[in-house]
């Protein structure tokens, strides 16, 4: 199965969401939420992420997570991750209860493509205070892709994780998961990177991006937003419409993509120091906002 076939299938079977210029979306990916151990890359940015997500919840944004939200290669169970970052999941539950949470599975949480696995592990959690199971993400659905379709113009935005263009991490993800658990997780603690990851292997990153761009060009320059490589991408109108929201495990910062007022922007949240020495979390605009219609080729 080629990368084209995998991307075609993800697009064909994607969940479709109608949106308009008044709609607001925040797109994050590659959070890699772990168990708060030394190997948990998310732990360094968890306060930044939580603060940013609280902002988007208060401002009425819908949250789309483009895969690899939970680190289920290094960790055996979701329960240990939930216990480590419970405040994050309680906030995500609030999005879900208002139907503002849209989830995509990636290679590191590919087990979520099984609806039965999702229902078993994510529907409820055990609350030690009450001694009972409590609702968490009841009836939540994970998707391989999501298509945002503008209610007036009909313009489409295709969202997926992006590992469809990475044959090794799509077809042999179980083998990669095994290697990460027994070899790369302990070596990661010592600072040795996993060479199979496109985020840490530049040649693989370029190869994945090239295949994705080729697919976009063959599909009428369809706006496509991915994660996976952890490298933020924001094209100019007229270029190949290949976007990447980056990741939430950058050193001391997280990046994402906002869609608001019919425009798209690449943003970063990080900790900064004020003049009086106070630390605060602030949002920075990296690229945009650019009108989505500027990317239309018709």
Residue 124 β-bridge partners: 135
Asked if the model's pLDDT at residue 286 lies above 70, the reply is: yes
The pLDDT of residue 175 = 63
pLDDT tens-digit map of 246-280: 999 998 999 999 999 999 999 999 999 999 999 99
Entry pTM: 0.91
Give the pLDDT confidence score for residue 271 in this predicted structure: 96
Residue 184: pLDDT band (50, 70, 90) is low
Question: Domain map of the chain by residue range?
Answer: 3-295
Q: Residue 201 is encoded by which pair of tokens?
A: 């292997």
Quick one: which of 237, 223, 161, 230 has its CA closest to 202? Answer: 230
C-beta contacts of 87-91 below 8 A and 24+ residues apart:
87/50, 88/33, 88/46, 88/49, 88/50, 88/53, 89/136, 91/50, 91/53, 91/54, 91/57
pLDDT the model gives residue 148? 98
pLDDT digits (tens, 9 = 90+) for 3-20: 899 999 999 999 999 999
Task: Say if residue 50's pLDDT is above 90.
Answer: yes
CATH topology of domain 3-295: Purple Acid Phosphatase; chain A, domain 2 (3.60.21)
Query: Could you give the CA distance from residue 50 to residue 72 in angstroms, rounded to a whole number?
Result: 20
Residue pair 245/227 in contact (Cβ under 8 Å)? The answer is yes
Q: Is the pLDDT of residue 144 over 90?
A: yes
């Amino acid at each position: 199965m080629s990368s084209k076939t995998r991307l075609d299938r993800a697009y064909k079977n994607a969940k479709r969401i109608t949106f308009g210029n008044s709609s607001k979306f925040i797109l994050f990916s590659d959070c890699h939420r772990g168990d708060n151990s030394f190997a948990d890359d998310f732990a360094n940015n968890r306060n930044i992420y939580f603060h940013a997500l609280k902002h988007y919840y208060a401002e009425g944004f819908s949250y789309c997570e483009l895969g690899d939200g939970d680190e289920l290669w290094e960790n055996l169970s979701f329960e240990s991750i939930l216990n480590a970052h419970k405040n994050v999941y309680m906030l995500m539950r609030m999005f879900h209860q208002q139907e503002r949470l849209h989830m995509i599975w990636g290679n590191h949480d590919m087990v979520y493509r099984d609806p039965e696995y999702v229902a078993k592990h994510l529907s409820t959690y055990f609350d030690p205070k009450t001694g009972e199971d409590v609702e968490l993400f009841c009836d939540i659905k994970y998707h391989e892709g999501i298509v945002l379709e503008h209610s007036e113009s009909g313009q489409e935005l295709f969202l997926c994780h992006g590992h469809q263009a990475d044959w090794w991490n799509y077809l042999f993800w179980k083998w990669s998961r095994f290697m990460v658990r027994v070899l790369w997780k302990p070596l990661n603690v010592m600072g040795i990177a996993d060479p199979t990851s496109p985020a840490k292997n530049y040649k693989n990153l370029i190869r994945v991006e090239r295949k994705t761009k080729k697919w976009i060009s063959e599909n009428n320059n369809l706006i496509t937003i991915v994660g996976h490589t952890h490298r933020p991408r924001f094209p100019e109108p007229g270029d190949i419409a290949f976007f990447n929201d980056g990741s939430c495990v950058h050193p001391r910062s997280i990046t994402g993509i906002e869609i608001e007022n019919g425009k798209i922007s690449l943003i970063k949240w990080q900790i900064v120091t004020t003049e009086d020495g106070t630390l605060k979390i602030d949002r920075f605009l990296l690229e945009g906002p650019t009108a989505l219609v500027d990317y239309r080729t018709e």
